[in-house]
């Protein structure tokens, strides 16, 4: 059992503990005790740690995760990462760990000032959209009861609009680019729905996406940052606007070559000094905020994602709606400095997906040659660094828009 996490408390106390700890501020981690717990987990970690102290323990890379032994539990469930970094990882959590991940995900909402009963609509991967008459998913947390409906980001915008206008949710969450795509395609007024807060996540929130969402809903946008491997890492604060890190639940190290994370609440397949690679740094000093958790800045989020077509026009990453291609499992589009595009993809029936993908790229980025590459995304790291955030990247755009 890894010490330090609120997961060891009774589940009904999680919200109160996570609230109190957020207000109390930084906690010192007992690093030797944490290393001892990892040694006890398995021979794998015993050999890996040896007699080293914390900084001497080798960093766990994505490719190493498959070697980490998984504890025996009947309720283990696996989930795959999206693979936007070019490497997919399978993560296994017990039911209790999954429930705690949700508690941590909901932590910022303890400070949103929401009413006791909240309707929320969550934008998820896929094309399916709940109807207003469908039964919601119920969840009580921190004194608030959430009724949740889901809509697929590739779904019919009119169906999503019907859901919103009928349920009038106070809170909208989900995939940032999906919310933006909905806002830009729905062609219906959203400002009077009564949405108070939009909390996107799952990918880097570009500044123009934030402005688009704020203007459309006339709501506050409070971003989140996390990963499949570690759960919720940081969240934008309704009070100070900065990103508070869940540094009490995850040991975070802002190394120069990317963020290294040790979640303390995962004991079944624990990750010790796991390299996420996102370029993140802790802010200097403590912010003037009732929430005492340290704040961080996500540097990688400020890169330019746009492609440039044969006429020199910029093409938004949102222009690509490959979710509509049947059987497509993963994709990433990269533009070399000579303008040529490479679409890396993974599909159930590659020979059927390929022509649809090629036609879509040629229609969206006219005047550029496109090569298809089947398999994992071997995108060249143009700056020695591959981002987990992006599915579209361009060496050309990065050069022509240095201010972005």
Candidates 85-93, 175-183, 240-248, 311-319; binding stretch for Zn ion (CB under 5 A): 240-248
Q: Give whichever of 51 and 288 is closer to Zn ion, judged by the CB atom.
A: 288
Question: What order do you get walking across the sheet with 137-141 strand by strand?
Answer: 137-141, 144-152, 117-124, 171-175, 197-201, 220-221
- Binding residues for Zn ion, rule CB under 5 A, total 5
* CB 139, min distance to Zn ion, A: 24
Candidates 20-28, 84-92, 132-140, 236-244; binding stretch for Zn ion (CB under 5 A): 236-244
* CB 242, min distance to Zn ion, A: 6
For residue 103 the two structure tokens come to 């508690």
Cα distance between residue 126 and residue 153, in whole Å: 6
Cα distance between residue 182 and residue 318, in whole Å: 10
Q: Give whichever of 298 and 396 is closer to Zn ion, judged by the CB atom.
A: 298
10 Å CB burial of residue 363 (0-12, 13-18, 19+) is exposed
Q: Give whichever of 243 and 274 is closer to Zn ion, judged by the CB atom.
A: 243
With residue 20 as reference, give the H or E element that holds it: helix 14-24
Cα distance between residue 276 and residue 116, in whole Å: 36
Candidates 89, 245, 289, 298; binder of Zn ion (CB under 5 A) is 289
Number of Cα atoms under 13 Å in the Cβ half of residue 146: 21
Candidates 291, 301, 343, 396; binder of Zn ion (CB under 5 A) is 291
Judged by CB under 5 A, does residue 239 bind Zn ion?
yes
Mask: binding to Zn ion, 185-224, rule CB under 5 A, as x and -?
A: ----------------------------------------
Report the residue number whose CB is nearest to Zn ion. 237
Candidates 142-150, 210-218, 287-295, 340-348; binding stretch for Zn ion (CB under 5 A): 287-295
* CB 108, min distance to Zn ion, A: 10
* CB 6, min distance to Zn ion, A: 20
List, as one string, the DSSP characters of 39-80.
HHH-HHHHHHHTT--GGGSPPBPGGGGGGS-----TT-EEEE
* CB 290, min distance to Zn ion, A: 7
Residue 314 · residue 397 · CB < 8 Å: yes
Cα distance between residue 94 and residue 7, in whole Å: 12
In the three-class reduction of DSSP (H, G, I as helix; E, B as strand; rest coil), residue 265 is classed as: coil
For residue 386 the two structure tokens come to 């591959």
Candidates 165, 186, 240, 255; binder of Zn ion (CB under 5 A) is 240
Judged by CB under 5 A, does residue 298 bind Zn ion?
no
Q: Give whichever of 221 and 357 is closer to Zn ion, judged by the CB atom.
A: 221
Judged by CB under 5 A, does residue 110 bind Zn ion?
no
Cα distance between residue 169 and residue 148, in whole Å: 9
Judged by CB under 5 A, does residue 333 bind Zn ion?
no
Judged by CB under 5 A, does residue 237 bind Zn ion?
yes
Candidates 16-24, 66-74, 216-224, 231-239; binding stretch for Zn ion (CB under 5 A): 231-239
* CB 288, min distance to Zn ion, A: 9
Q: Give whichever of 172 and 289 is closer to Zn ion, judged by the CB atom.
A: 289
Cα distance between residue 255 and residue 33, in whole Å: 22
* CB 104, min distance to Zn ion, A: 17
For residue 217 the two structure tokens come to 């809903």
Of 346, 311, 332, 347, give the one whose Cα is nearest residue 394: 332
Q: Interface residues with Zn ion (CB under 5 A)?
A: 237, 239-240, 289, 291
């Amino acid at each position: 059992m890894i010490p330090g996490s609120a997961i060891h408390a009774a589940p009904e106390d999680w919200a109160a503990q996570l609230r109190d700890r957020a207000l109390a501020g930084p906690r010192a981690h007992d690093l030797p005790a944490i290393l001892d717990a990892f040694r006890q987990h398995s021979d794998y970690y015993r050999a890996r740690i040896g007699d080293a102290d914390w900084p001497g323990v080798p960093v766990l890379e994505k490719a190493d995760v498959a070697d980490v032994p998984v504890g025996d539990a009947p309720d283990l469930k696996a989930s795959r990462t999206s693979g936007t970094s070019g490497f997919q990882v399978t993560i296994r959590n017990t039911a209790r760990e999954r429930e705690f991940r949700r508690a941590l995900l909901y932590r910022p909402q303890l400070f949103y000032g929401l009413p006791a009963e909240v309707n929320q609509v969550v934008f998820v991967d896929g094309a399916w959209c709940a109807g207003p008459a469908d039964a919601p998913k119920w969840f009580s947390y921190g004194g608030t009861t959430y009724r949740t409906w889901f809509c697929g980001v590739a779904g019919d915008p009119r169906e999503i609009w019907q859901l919103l206008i009928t349920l009038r949710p106070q809170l909208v969450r989900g995939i940032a680019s999906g919310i933006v795509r909905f806002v830009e395609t729905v062609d219906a007024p959203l400002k009077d729905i009564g949405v108070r807060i939009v909390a996107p996540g799952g990918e880097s929130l570009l500044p123009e996406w934030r402005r688009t969402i704020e203007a459309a809903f006339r709501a506050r946008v409070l971003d989140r940052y996390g990963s499949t491997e570690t759960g919720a890492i940081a969240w934008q604060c309704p009070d100070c606007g900065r990103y508070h890190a869940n540094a009490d639940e995850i040991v975070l190290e802002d190394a120069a070559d990317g963020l290294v994370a040790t979640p303390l609440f995962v004991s079944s397949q624990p990750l010790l000094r796991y390299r996420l690679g996102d370029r993140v740094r802790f802010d200097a000093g403590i912010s003037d905020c009732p929430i005492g958790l340290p704040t961080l800045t996500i540097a990688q989020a400020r890169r330019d994602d746009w492609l440039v077509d044969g006429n020199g026009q910029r093409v938004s990453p949102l222009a690509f709606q490959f979710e509509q291609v049947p059987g497509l499992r993963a994709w990433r589009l990269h533009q070399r400095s000579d303008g040529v595009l490479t679409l890396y993809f993974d599909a159930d029936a590659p020979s059927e997906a390929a022509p649809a993908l090629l036609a879509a790229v040629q229609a969206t980025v006219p005047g550029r040659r496109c090569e298809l590459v089947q398999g994992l995304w071997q995108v060249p790291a143009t700056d020695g660094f591959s981002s987990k955030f992006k599915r579209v990247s361009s060496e050309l755009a990065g050069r022509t828009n240095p201010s972005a």
